[in-house]
Structure 1
Amino acid sequence: MKDFHLSFGEWDMYHKANKDQQRHKEKVEQAIKDNLPDLLSEESIIMSDGQGLTRLPIRSLDEYKLRYGSGEQSQVGQGDGDSQVGDVLEKLPPSKSEKGNGADSKPGIDYYEENVSLEDIEEHLYKELELPDLEQKDFVMESSVPEIVFRDIRKKGLMGNLDKRRTLLQALKRNAISGKGQLGSLSEDDLRFKTWENIEQPESRAVVFAMMDTSGSMGMWEKYMARSFFFWMKRFLETNYKSVEIVYLAHHTEARLVTESEFFSKGESGGTICSSVYQKALDLIEAHYSPASYNIYPVHFSDGDNLSSDTDRCIKLVQELTELSALFAYGEINPYGRKSTLMEVYQHIDHEKNRCYVFKDKKDIYYALKHFFSKNGLEKTES
């Protein structure tokens, strides 16, 4: 008989590595959640088309260990035996080097940098977003995504769909009828196959009009902010909604339909007439995107500058768009808080489907996403 030993130690000690890994994972997830506003504007992700990584500082989680003191300070005792978890037994007196008004000699907090990918950020971001007031519209069955459901059993079929349990039961029944109380061999008549049918799953269709001002007043920072917002909007919609189409419109004094690549890379110049892009969206809705069949979401980004004589026409067209849409969103990139031609009138449009937001900092990308793509939006329209 071989010798063996019993251990009477605490079983939790043998899972210490797993616990440390779990603590580390929770720490990383909390750090991502706390830093989402900064991460969404990180250039290493935006400029790499979502394939890059960024690094996030996280406080170090060292394993517990005994450490010898330096001998320069009096040591804290272990208490009188009546202490509870969390009780402060004694505070260390300040060392000589820490007294006075000189440079602080206290040690810093160790931290390390954790790689954070696009998928890590999306996992936390998308929990907070949704298309508001999404309704089931008329749908085309051919465009729906079929679901394969096994609903029938047949004697003929593909061997990959063989139902082994029913095949064995059929063989047992056959042998039992003939007086044999055993499985025996299988015959071709014993084979049973699962068969399926395609179930069409109708989905609510939607179209998002991504509209961006590309006039001369939109500088590099303004265009970067707008494109960063649309980058995350596009990722959110493509990840969570299968039947949502994005239409890209760029405008200066004239509006035109552009490709996704042109929208995110091509710069333009000239003056600004915002009514042109609203009229373009209305024309496309009339021609291709009936409100009876599509949930409509126009999202317009600008720096707020517009030809003053065009304001009244803008208000009229925005009101028309809002009536046809599930939501009309206007984002204004205005870091200096100056009065703008558009926001002065848009924020006073009294309609529950109209939402406005002023961008003053990179962090506003996160808050604007929550404001536009949530059930009720944020309480404030400005950060």
Structure 2
Amino acid sequence: MATLIDRRLDGKNKSAVNRQRFIRRFKSQIKKAVTEAMNGRSITDIDNGEKINIPARDLSEPVFGHGAGGRRETIHPGNKDFIKGDRMARPQGGSGGGTGKGQASNSGEGEDDFVFELSREEFLELFFEDLELPNLVRTQLAKVAEFKSVRAGFSSVGNPSNLDVVRSMRGALARRIAMAAPYSRRLHEAEAELQQVLAATPVDEPRAQALVEEIEHLRARVRAVPFIDTFDLRYVNRTKQPQPSTQAVMFCIMDVSGSMDRARKDLAKRFFTLLYLFLKRNYQKIEVVFIRHHTVAKEVDEQEFFYSRETGGTVVSSALTLMADIAAARYPLSVWNIYAAQASDGDNWHHDSPACKDILLKHIMPFVRYFSYIEITPDRHQSLWEAYEEVREVHPNFAMQQIDGAADIYPVFRELFKRRVS
């Protein structure tokens, strides 16, 4: 019997398997704790881990209880008071000896909640787990084609690590049988004939000697057939097949006009920061187009979108027109899944709101998979909200939500991008 001793040193992630098993087992409690932890976070802390508390009662495991009567053998480690044959008194006050963990006591002893620290990756994975881009469909292949390695039979040449031993031995056996078959057949016939010659009286010595020499020659020819040859080797053949990949673009439109004070701009930045983190984490092949607008719309980079201090009047249609032009020029519908998210305080030049509705109905909504609009205002809705309500009545893939403060960002975000059951 062989004994194998693993002398490899434990790595720093030696508990990774147990950690993932724990997260899967208590996933509902951990997700609840993550949701509660998010309510007290600022947007700058979204990309960090978290220490969460899980009530000790949620960590209980099922156990088997022994009823009254019967005989059973139990091993008590560290026992100094009892030997075999002694009788143990049953605890008074019921079938169990515990008093419960949730009861108050005068001994000052208790059990705290279980504290579990989630890493950054685990925290974001749980937070974004049930979110997705709605109506995301596969279009054409992305610019960078994805390939998947698939089995494609067997090959006579290949990497030694891909050697198929069973297939190779099966081929070697078939080859040995085929090559040795004529000699084996004649060998059996010669052996049978030799037995007959030796059994006859008198023995035909010359014939017997000739048969012995022939038998030795045939056995040598059979043994000369190689057990395995390079011709027998078979390697698992793999080929790369192109896989269809989803290609999407998200337009982020933010109002930076004078009516958007610093607090409202901060809320808009928080929403888009959360959206940007969600997109980059869950979709590898997705492009993000940032558009800032006041009276004039401009495509900007990520740095300018989140940190520029530019301000001015309000003409929302300029941003929608720019989005439609960019989508038509760079993102054809046959290749791209187009999404848009817009944040504004709802303040707009009165005569511009009908123009926004027309642009959405004619040039944007027929081509986008999903359009989400958030209005950051504690006041009553203005003309832009009313115009957008008419768009929502026509297109079910147009979503609207209102944000009053920082506490509304996460619930609204999850409502806009929650996973729909198809």
| Contact 2:150/2:239 (<8 A) preserved | yes
Deviation by residue 1:252-306 (Cα, 9 ceiling, x = unmatched): 2211112223323333222222111101101012112222332221110112222
Relative to structure 1, the CA distance from residue 24 to residue 326 in structure 2 (aligned partners, 3 Å threshold; closer, same or farther) is closer
- Aligned amino acid, residue 412 of structure 2: A
Decide whether aligned partners of structure 1 residues 338 and 134 sit closer, same or farther in structure 2, where only a CA change above 3 A counts: same
Quickly say closer, same or farther: Cα 1:227–1:112, change in 2 above 3 A: farther
1:156 is aligned to 2:153: no
Task: Measure, in 1, the Cα distance between the counterparts of 2:170 and 2:402.
Answer: 69
Over aligned residues, Cα RMSD in angstroms? 4.1
Listed as ranges, the gaps of 5+ residues in structure 2 are 1-17, 62-90, 181-221
CA–CA distance in structure 2, aligned partners of residues 252 and 233 of structure 1: 22
CA 132–21 in structure 1, closer or farther in 2 if over 3 Å, else same? closer
SS for the counterpart of 2:290 is: strand
Query: In the alignment, which of 44, 47, 55 is matched to residue 47 of structure 1?
Result: 44
Task: Kindly provide the CA deviation profile for residues 53-77 of structure 1, in whole angstroms up to 9, marking residues without a partner as x.
Answer: 333344457999xxxxxxxxxxxx9
How many residue pairs get aligned? The number is: 329
More helix by share: 2
Instruction: Sort the Cα spacing of 1:315 and 1:41 in 2 relative to 1 into closer, same or farther, 3 A.
Output: farther
Equivalent residue runs for 1:37-186 within 5 Å: 38-39=37-38, 42-43=41-42, 46-47=43-44, 50=47, 52-59=48-55, 78-81=92-95, 110-111=112-113, 114-137=116-139, 139-140=140-141, 143-179=144-180, 186=228
Provide closer, same or farther for how the CA distance between residues 118 and 204 of structure 1 changes in structure 2, counting only shifts above 3 A: same
Higher radius of gyration, 1 or 2: 2
Kindly indicate whether the alpha-carbon contact (under 8 Å) linking 1:144 and 1:200 is maintained by their aligned counterparts in 2: yes
1:102-147 deviation per Cα after TM superposition (whole angstroms, max 9, x unaligned): xxxx99984465433332233333332222223343x147543111
Please tell me whether residue 323 in structure 1 is matched to residue 337 in structure 2.
Answer: no
Q: TM-score, normalised by structure 2?
A: 0.65
The one-letter code matched in structure 2 to 1:79 is G
3-state DSSP of counterpart to 1:304? coil
**After alignment, is 352-361 or 123-132 more displaced?**
123-132
Which residue of structure 2 lines up, in the alignment, with residue 345 of structure 1? 387
Between 144-153 and 357-366, the greater mean CA deviation after superposition: 357-366
Q: Mind listing any 5+ residue stretches in structure 1 that lack a counterpart?
A: 1-18, 65-76, 96-105, 378-383
AA matched with 1:327: Y
**Maintained 8 Å contact 1:28/1:58:** no
- Structure 1 match to 2:207: none
1:1-383 equivalent positions in 2, closer than 5 A: 30-36=29-35, 38-39=37-38, 42-43=41-42, 46-47=43-44, 50=47, 52-59=48-55, 78-81=92-95, 110-111=112-113, 114-137=116-139, 139-140=140-141, 143-179=144-180, 186-320=228-362, 321-334=364-377, 336-349=378-391, 350-351=393-394, 352-374=396-418
> How high is the sequence identity, in percent, across the aligned residues?
28
Structure 2 match to 1:71? none
How many angstroms does 1:151 deviate by? 0.5
**Distance change in 2, residues 1:109/1:225 (3 Å):** farther
CA displacement, residues 27-85 of structure 1 (integer Å, 9 cap, x when unaligned): 57514335426527723xx42682x3333344457999xxxxxxxxxxxx95355x9x9
1: CA distance between counterparts of 2:245 and 2:38?
A: 32
Aligned equivalents of 1:273 and 1:108: distance in 2?
Answer: 62
Find the aligned partners of 2:335 and 2:39 in 1 and give their Cα distance. Answer: 33
Distance 1:375 1:21 in 2: 23
Per the normalisation by structure 1, the TM-score is 0.70
